Amino acid sequence: MASVNCIECEGEIPLEEDVMAGEILQCPHCGSELEVVSLDPVKLDLAPEVQEDWGE
């Protein structure tokens, strides 16, 4: 099983074999939500925060 390092705490995050671009992963060490932005090589970025639109 492959793994990547968290961009927040450098902790190791295991990757499933069928990981997809756009998938949101949660770091098991610090709890950060990270988005898979590239698959070859696997790169992570902070997941976008969901903002309330208040009906707009």
Distance, in Å, from the CA atom of 6 to the CA atom of 27, rounded to the nearest integer, reads 7
This prediction has a pTM of 0.80
Residue 51 pLDDT grade (very low, low, confident, very high; cuts 50, 70, 90): low
Distance, in Å, from the CA atom of 29 to the CA atom of 8, rounded to the nearest integer, reads 10
Distance, in Å, from the CA atom of 33 to the CA atom of 45, rounded to the nearest integer, reads 9
Domain ranges of the chain: 3-46
Determine the average pLDDT of the residues in 9-30. Answer: 95
Question: What is residue 54's predicted lDDT score, i.e. its pLDDT?
Answer: 67
Is the distance from CB of 35 to CB of 21 less than 8 angstroms?
A: no
CATH of 3-46, one of 2.40.50.140, 1.10.10.10, 2.20.28.160, 3.30.420.10: 2.20.28.160
